[in-house]
Structure formats: C-alpha cells, structure tokens
A and B are shown apart, each in its own frame.
Chain A
Amino acid sequence: MVKLKNIPGLSALSAAKASASPQPDGSKGMVVIRDTGLLDKINLRCQADNPVITKAVKRMVGTDLPTAANTFNQAGHRSIIWLGPDEWMIMAENGASDDITAELDTPEAGHVAVVNISDALGAVTIEGPHARDVLAKNCAIDFHPRAFTKGMAVQSLLSHAGVTILCLEDDKMMVIGRTSFMPYILDLLSDSSIEYGYDYQAA
C-alpha cells in the first residue's frame, strides 16, 4: 500500500495565501493565525475504561485517555481530545496515523472504532493577546482566562461552522473545523482580527 506521507498532498487551506492587516496604533499586539497544514487525526470510539485502548493511547500518544469533559491531553506533537463519553480524537504529525491506528485497532481491543479522519478536518492556531477576543466575537463559549484554561477543548459553533477549539497556551488557541469550512473559518478569524491587526501565515 502507498504511504500517504510520501505523497505531496493539499491541506484544507492550501489555496489560502498569506495575508495581513496592519496593527492599528495603540493596540496591544496583533493576532497571528497559522495554518497547521497536514496534521494527522484519528477518531477513536470506545468505552473509556477499555484497558487495551488506554494502554495503547499511553504508548502511542504518551498521555492518558482524557475522561474529563472538554479537555485534552498533550505530549510533544501528539494530543488526544475528549469529544464525548465514548469519543476522542488523536492529533499527531503527518504520517503518524498508520502506526497509531495499527496499535489501537486490534482484535484484542474489542468494540472500538478507529477511523482516520486526517483529511476531513483542518486546523489553524490563533495567537496573541486578542486571540480570546477574536474567538468571542464568533462563539458563545466563555473564553475568559478564568473559564477557558490551558488543556481545555470545547465543541461549539464559530458563527455558522461547527468547530473544536483547544486552549494550547494562555494566548494561543487551536480551531479545528471540517476542511470545507476552513476557508470560511479563516475569513471569520481574520475579519474579526482587523480591529487588532493580524498576520495570517500559510503552512
């Protein structure tokens, strides 16, 4: 079988060129939006106490399976996001999904669904002192630093697009959406950043 990582492929935002809007005077800092390019994503469905899976996740992602709602665990370039009581998503570097899948999707694991959705989703990071303000303009979730802290992952609507938003750092978030919505999501985020100035960096 052909290895995907050996073939040049297009990410959701391959067609979006770098763009920027100047930082107005007096602003505390501009918003930096970055395309994450090709990141592998694996949807995982199983019971939270599946011993085979919890061990395999520990081995392949380097962290525990998160069981607290709306959180994610991260180790290096890999992370695992809680999406529901029996649903998670693993994110990893491009090309990693085959190996991870092989470890998770085994007969011993019993009732599990391990599905490669690397190409179904795109993601951008949004960074800067106004990152939270930009998200708040488009989403009803509470993004206050007290409420949305590092390690949280929420699923909501960014204006009209379904998204998962991760708090990577105090002033750095990741917005994950379906690939066909990513141009719209990028338009939303950059438009909402005009007030502060922004810099979009293509992958």
Chain B
Amino acid sequence: MFKSSSKNHSGGDMRLASGGRINRDKPLQFTFDGKTYGGYEGDTLASALIANGVHLVGRSFKYHRPRGIMTAGSEEPNALIRLGEGAKIEPNIRATQIELYPNLKSESQNRWPSLNFDLGAVNSVVARMLPAAFYYKTFMWPASMWMTYEHFIRKAAGLGKAATDHNDPDRYEKTNAHTDVLVVGGGASGLMAALSAGRAGARVILADEQNEFGGWLLSESDTTLDGHAADRWIADAVAELEAMDNVTMLKRTTVFGYMDHNYLTMMERVTDHLGETPKHMPRQKMWKIRAKHVVLAQGTHERPLVFGGNDRPGVMLSSAVRSYITRYGVAPGRRAVVVTNNDDAYRTALALVDAGVYLRAIIDMRPAPATPLVSEAMRRGINVYTSHALVDAEGTRHVGRAKVARINPKDGSITGDAFYLDCDLVAMSAGFTPIVNLHSQARGKLDWDDQQLCFRPSTYHEAAQCVGASNGIFDLGDAMADGAKAGAAAATAAGFKGSDAKAPQVDAPVQDYRPLALWKVVSDANPGAGPKAFIDFQNDVTASDIKLAVREGYHSVEHVKRYTTNGMATDQGKTSNINALGIIADQLDDKIPNVGTTTFRMPYTPASFGGIAGREIKGLFDPIRGTRMDQWHHDHGATFEHVGQWMRAWYYPQSGESMDDAVQREVKAARTTAGLLDASTLGKIDIRGKDAAEFLNRVYTNAWLKLPVGRCRYGLMLKDDGMVMDDGVTSRLGENHFHMTTTTGGAAGVLDWLEEWHQTEWPELEVYMTSVTEQWSVSTLSGPNAKKIMNKLGCSVPLDDENFPFMSFKDATLAGLPVRIFRISFTGELSYEINTPARLGLALWKNIMAAGEEFGITPYGTEAMHVLRAEKGFIIVGQETDGSVTPQDLGMDWIVSKKKDDYIGKRALERASMSLDNRKQLVGLVTENPKDIIPEGAHAVLDPNQPMPMEMLGQVTSSYYSPNLGKSIAMALLKGGHKMMGETVYFPMIDGQPPIKATITDTAFYDPKGEKING
C-alpha cells in the first residue's frame, strides 16, 4: 500500500498510495534543519515529516532526550519548531499545527550542535542527579553564588530562540465582535450547535483552530453519517452555515482566553498558512468577543500511557496515528504495536491493518475485554494480549522494540516474563480527557467521572455549555444531539426561537468508553534504575518526579505542580494533567476527585505578542495631540516635549544653539521686548447657571461670589484631603457665566471632578459645565513691548490700564479676527492671553509674529515658560506639588478664605497635622556660586559631612539658570522651610562632585513688587 519511492518521491516514502485530505496534485517542497523534503498541500509539517520518515524533531527541555511527533493536534508537547528566517523567525510552533506551504523553512530546537548529536543529552546520563526541583535544591546555597548559577541555568533553559532582529515585518491586527452564540470548536457537536443556533436566526460565530471544519470526524474512516462518509455531511453542514448571513465561520482561529462576562479572546491565523503574507493582510488577527452565550465544543485530548520510554520518537498517541493515516494519507511506521487500556485504540489498530502496516499486536491492559471492537480485531487475526502492558519502549533515537509483560491489572505489577516485539511505531492510549480548559478558565467547576475516568464540566460560572466529547459524551450520535440541543438553548436564551437541529444517523463502531484505571505499570527494574516514564513531556517531568514530590510532603496538587513544574509548560498540561493526578492519588492512596485538579490558565495555546499588540505600535501606540499652530512650530525648528498626550513646543533653537542658549535667549526676549507662547493646550471649561459662582466658591479655596463681571481671578483647587490638585485663572463672562482654565495635564480630570461633585454632592445647584479646551486657540503675548504690538494689530479695545486693567478680559477684534483677550500673566510681564476660535489660531499667531517682528518678538516654548514663572516664584501644579502639598505649604495661605463656610478640602486643612511647623514648605534657593545649578530632585541637608544615611530636609522641585537675574535659582520643599529664611543648606551630589551650597530665600526672585505687570 506504500508508495514506491522510485515512482514519486515528492510525498515521502511513508506516504500511503491513496486516501487522506491532502491534495496530491499540489506537491510542495520544504526544509527541515537545512534538508529539503517533499509534501503536499493539506499536509501539516508534522504529517509531511512523518511521510518522509522523520520522527526525531527536537530535544527535550531538561534531559535533551530525542523527541518525536506524538500527537496530531494543538496539544503536541514535543514537536516544537522554529519557523521562518531572519526577522520573521518564530520559535516554539507546534509542527502539528503548521500547515505546509511552498518553501517552508523549519528547524529543530533545543539541540547543540545538531539534532542527532546533542551535547546536552549528557543531562540524560546524569539524570539521577537532576530530580524534581533540582534547581531549587541545588542552587540555593550559597546564596551569593546565585548570580553565577543563574548565568548558566538561563543559558541551558528556555525553549527555542526568538528572532534576533526585533523588527517583525508582519502586520497584526485586532478586532472586536459581539455575538449571540459563540461556538468554540467546529467538530461534529460544534457544527450541530452552530446549525441549531444559526437556523434560529441568532448571530453565531463558529471558531475552529484547524484549517477545515469537521474536527475529529476528518480522521475517522470507519464512520458514516446518514449513510455517507462523514466528510459529505461536514461539507453540507459547512455550506449551509456559510450561506447564513448571521453566521461567521472562522477557521484557523483559536479561542485562547475566557474572561468574566463571556468576554473571550481568540487568535485568527489569517495568512500563516500562505508563507508569504500579502502586504494589505494581517498575519494574525486577535478577536475580542463579547458573547451572550458560549457553546464549548472543544472535543478531547487523548492521554499517553505512562511506561518507560513513552517519550521515544515513534511512540505516538493512538488517535494521532489514526489521524495521520486517515486524514493525511501517511503511515507513521512499518511495524506497529498498539497499547491501550480502552476500546478506542482498536479502531487505530484496524486502521493500521487497513493501511497495510504490519501490526505486531494489541497490548490491552484490561483483563478480559469483550466488546465488539475486540471481537472484530480477533476476527481479523490480530494478536491481542490482554492483561498485558508495555513496560519499556526501547531504542535510541527511535523506538526499536517494545518490552511487553503480563500484569496484574489491579495494581500494575508484572506477573510474567517479559518478551519483546520489534516495532518502529507504538500507538498508545490511556483514555480521553474532555477539553475543559476554557470552561475552567471561566471558573466553571468539574466533576470526576469514575466510569470514563475523566473530569466533566459540572457547574458554570458564565452563560456557557460544554457539549459533546468536551462534555464527557463520547458517543458520536449522542455528542451531536448534545451539540444541537445546546445550540438551540443558547439561541433561545439570546431571544430567538431555537429548536434542535436533527442529528444525522450515525453508523460507527460500538465502543466501551470505560478505560482501565491503572495509571502506571510497575517497572521490573531495580528501584531507581528503571527507564524514565514521562508525564509532562514538555517540561520533562517523570512519574518518579511526581512520586518523589509526594514523598517529600507535597500533597496538594497545586504544590506538586509547582515543585515538579508538571503542567506548567506552554502546553498547559494538556496531555499530562490527568496522568499526574492519577499517580498522586495512587501515592496518597486516595481518589482523584479528592486530590483535585489545578486551574487552567489562558492562553489555551500560546498567542503571539504581535497579535496582542495589534496595530498599537509606533505612531498608533498612543495619540499625539498637537495645537492648531503645530505645523508652524515644526516649520520654525521647534523641539517638542510630551505634556500628557500633547506634544508642546519646548524651545526653538536657532542654528548652532544649545538648549540652554535657546531657552536663555527666549527668556530674555520675553522680559526685554516680547515673547509669544502657544498656550492653547490649557484646559478650558465653560460654566453656566445661576449657581455658577456658588459652585466655584465651593471648589476653589478663595472667594468668588463678588468677582465683578469682566474680571479674572486666580484659584487653587484642593482634593478633599486638602492637597493642591489644580490651579488656573477663571473669568466672569456674565453674572451666571464663567470661563475656567486648568492646567494642560489636569483638564479632563478637573472636568470629571466638577461633574462628580455636582452630580453626587450638590445636585441642587443649577450649573452646567462644558469643555471648551479645543474651541479656542491661545497665543500668549508677553513683555514690555506687548502693548505696542497689540496696538499695531489694530486691537479694537483701548489697552490703557484704566480701561483694561490687569486681571480683566475684553472681547475684541485683533488683526480683523474675533478674539477674547485676558490680561493675565504667568511671566510677571505685561501679558495678553489672546483666545480666538481655533480655526483662526494659526492666522492670529502669524499676524502677531509679523506685527512683532520690528520689536524682535520671539516665540518661546514651555521650557522658557517654566524659567519665566520660576523667576517670579509661580508654582506649577505637579512640579512644586505632588499630591501631598497644601496651600500653606506653598506659602499661599493668602488664597485660602478664612470666611467661607466650606470649600473642598477645608475640613482636611483644619486637622492639626496640617499646620505642623515641620511640614515640607516651599522656599526659594540661591546658590553660593551663581553658576551652580542644583539638579531637580536633589535632596537638601544641613551638614554635608554627617555620616550616611544623612538627615534630609526635602527636595528641589524646580531649578534653572535665570538669565534675567544672572544667577541660578531654585525652589524646594524643605521641612520647616518657611522659618529658615537666610539659612544655608547643602546638596550632596551623587557624581562625587562637592556639595552645592545654597541660601534659603523667598520664592519671588524677580521683580518681587510686581512693578513690571503693566509694562
């Protein structure tokens, strides 16, 4: 039945002459470890390798044991492959899930220097010295050596290697979807659920991790549905579903996470199977699903049997062997032994015989199985050894012979002489585990099924239903009916009139679904000298490791898991969990349900970081907000700084200027002639209502009721703990109408804050708030020549101090544009904050720059703004404050009303601790050497020669060189600072330089009497 290698080599020597769902008209070439092989479209990398007789595909994690392909699905623990080249390299991909594409390049992992000759395999020789928790036990002492140990452990550990070029060229996307019913798994029961729900009219998403729908049915050749081969029924069902507008069918899509409120995440491998990704397409797409109801039809995982050498290449799960034969047209061996504790493996045995493989024997651990399948095997002349077990799968890099012995099925002890069967394939089955990973992620509970030896879903935390095999219903007809029922129920629950889709007439071998409860065969070797029998193949955990952990006192399954690392590999214990529980229970002489089970965590299978990030990278990582004058700043060479999500012009260096040069030039210009600042980012809130003044009176510390219309006032806002939260100037536009400004970073938070107080505490106040931050563009003109420039621009209102005094505003036209001018100042100079509807912001700015040219007007950025205000001792919330600073700490007691009944923070300020003398208080600092600039954040001490740790007084909050004063100035929060005027403090430097000496002063460094404010 095998293809002759001389006839056609492209599909591999082990390719069967016919059968399988591969496309024999489309031969493909691929490489594995540099060698070129042939396969077909429809192959997985695993099936193509097996077709070429390649079973050895990797080395194990700890012992570097040769490992082969064990499964045919996503539960594969061994065959982890490094795929692709250069920046597209992806490690740890399961060969069983890699669809073959032309010129696919793959490499084995965890081997050096080569797969066949691996130096790390010495670990296998010294394995007795590497028991469970070896690292914990060995490298703990002496602690000082850990750094040395770690270097070597890190080098030896880890699976696979990521691309060294981190510029992944592929595109990844994310999307959201809502659905009435999400069906996870497109096998027989999942299709039935989708049919029921879809026909009822519900919105359905059906997701399946494989390249085609049908699930396990695609691997069965002995089953008919309504009298036809199963794939005909599948094709009909898929066609019907695809024709429904309300159904979304997603192949190659793994649901990997199940969170609260039926929120699930899934990864669609959109173009992975193409090899080349079209530029406009994502390689993978992560779906975020909100489902009203979830139907989990994930099927089962077959369990490996626990015997010596069960990890050797050529030892495979029985169902996988059947799948390779039926679905991929590949024989995984030439001489096979089937070993089982249940009926299902008999179907594999018959498939092997049908495929022309020489079946040596079925080794059945059960004492006297008398089911139709057993009879059929005997009828066909297959050697069946009952009450026998496979004791050791011997061989080097591939299984060569099976050591078989008669056992006592009750305790697994060997009761007869062992004999050997030559073979290159062992198909093993220890029964089936319903896939309850997602159910468990969603906090669903499990019950132990004593007959079928598996955990089955019991209670649900979410609106979900497990169906078919994942519900512990293994009979195909029953499973399909179960799926149909759940699909109808889900649709009904979502508000549709659902009824069960009629399940087809199933004709399949009658099976006994009760495996023998025998978790491990007792070895006949001397204690400690037996062959390794693996439980967790990916993390190299053996049955002995589990037993050792129990002997050492770890009786909780959660402890055993962490001590041995069983179930903690990337496969999440899919094949190992139940076997480990069985052995723990045996050791404790207890039952599995009493031992319990560990919690399944997401992801079900590993999800790529690319998919999780999606397009939230580079320019789309976070919005960058720019003002209407943004392009002008760019065109004039500005550098920018982040202020929240805004990018604000920081300074405008001219050719050859350093940042210091530029900032000092800008600062000087603003004091000697005129400077222009883009202040558009300031938060602005329109406040209206007959109680608006009363509302402000409650949210600010100072008095607002009597502010005349047309005037502006500075205000401090406190949190209810009395700490400064925001500040700004608010102007009275009308009797019941105010325009509030906030800090740039605080804008959104302040609006929320005001709404919250209004809605929850003072709903009786008639007041409405509306954000107008972006309605206005703001150009702030500052400096002694500001008035001249305003006049030159044809300002429509008189600018003399009597008509337009400091802290007032006027609506006017300027350069023919409608403006609202606020005479307020953050520099201490004569200053106009000119607001205009944002569409005219750039025009206004350009007009001002042009008019100011003859005066040497200078655009200045946020850095110069910071220096200018520091020269005046004005605070910046968030720089001089950090959420622990009161107005009094800032020396701003003058702004705190003593007369008002209440305002936010008042009660907190009245606490005794708020008026302690040793609170950190804001002071000015002048350095002894005027050129020394104290680093911001530097800590002050009284005596720089005291032993460490030194007693620290506080820290510098702002520090600049002031070109207008010709000296360095700083502000600091120092304990008891207000009573230390004139005292000397020191700032030790971390770079070994001598401490900086400074004198404590008032914070108003420049023009302390405020004589400059009128120009």
Contacts and interface: CB of A to CB of B under 8 A. Distances in A.
Interface of A: 1-2, 4, 7, 9-11, 15, 21, 24, 38, 43, 45-46, 86, 111-113, 115-121, 133, 136-137, 139-142, 144, 146-147, 159-161, 178-181, 183-184, 187-188, 191-192, 194-195, 197
Contacts of A187: 619-620
Contacts of B690: 111
Nearest to B623: A184
Given A115-B772, A119-B839, A136 B686 contact: no
B174 to A, nearest CB: 6
Given A10-B839, A136-B177, A146 B203 contact: yes
A57 to B, nearest CB: 16
B770 A113 contact: yes
B774 interface: yes
B175 A195 contact: no
Given A2-B817, A183-B626, A195-B282, 11 more contacts: A1-B818, A9-B837, A11-B839, A45-B770, A111-B689, A115-B770, A119-B774, A119-B776, A137-B176, A184-B624, A194-B280
Contacts, number: 131
Contacts of B955: none
Nearest to A193: B280
Overall SS of chain B's interface: mixed
B559 to A, nearest CB: 39
Cβ-closest 10 pairs across A and B:
A9-B839, A113-B768, A180-B625, A119-B838, A142-B178, A184-B623, A45-B768, A120-B774, A120-B775, A113-B688
Contacts of B688: 45, 112-113, 115
Contact of A159 (B616, B624, B627, B813): B616
B290 interface: yes
Contacts of A117: 770-772, 774-775
Contacts of A180: 625-627, 646, 774
A181 B818 contact: no
19 contacts: A4-B818, A9-B839, A24-B280, A45-B688, A112-B768, A117-B772, A119-B774, A137-B173, A137-B174, A142-B290, A159-B616, A160-B623, A179-B628, A180-B626, A184-B624, A184-B625, A187-B620, A192-B173, A197-B280
A116 B818 contact: no
B773 interface: yes
Contacts of B619: 187
A145 B289 CA distance: 16
Contacts of A10: 628, 839-842
B809 to A, nearest CB: 16
B278 interface: yes
B552 interface: no
B280 A21 contact: yes
Interface string B249-288: 0000000000000000000000000000010111000001
Interface in B803-842: 811, 813, 816-818, 837-842
A159 B173 contact: no
Interface string B774-790: 11100000000000000
A144 B205 CA distance: 13
B775 A133 contact: no
Contacts of A192: 173, 615
B622 interface: yes
Contacts of B281: 24, 195
Given A113-B686, A120-B772, A180-B626, A191 B615 contact: yes
Contacts of B813: 2
A163 B1008 CA distance: 46
Nearest to B819: A2
B838 A120 contact: yes
A4 B839 contact: yes
Given A113-B688, A113-B768, A183-B626, A178 B817 contact: no
Contact of B175 (A136, A161, A181, A184): A136
Given A137-B174, A140-B176, A4 B837 contact: yes
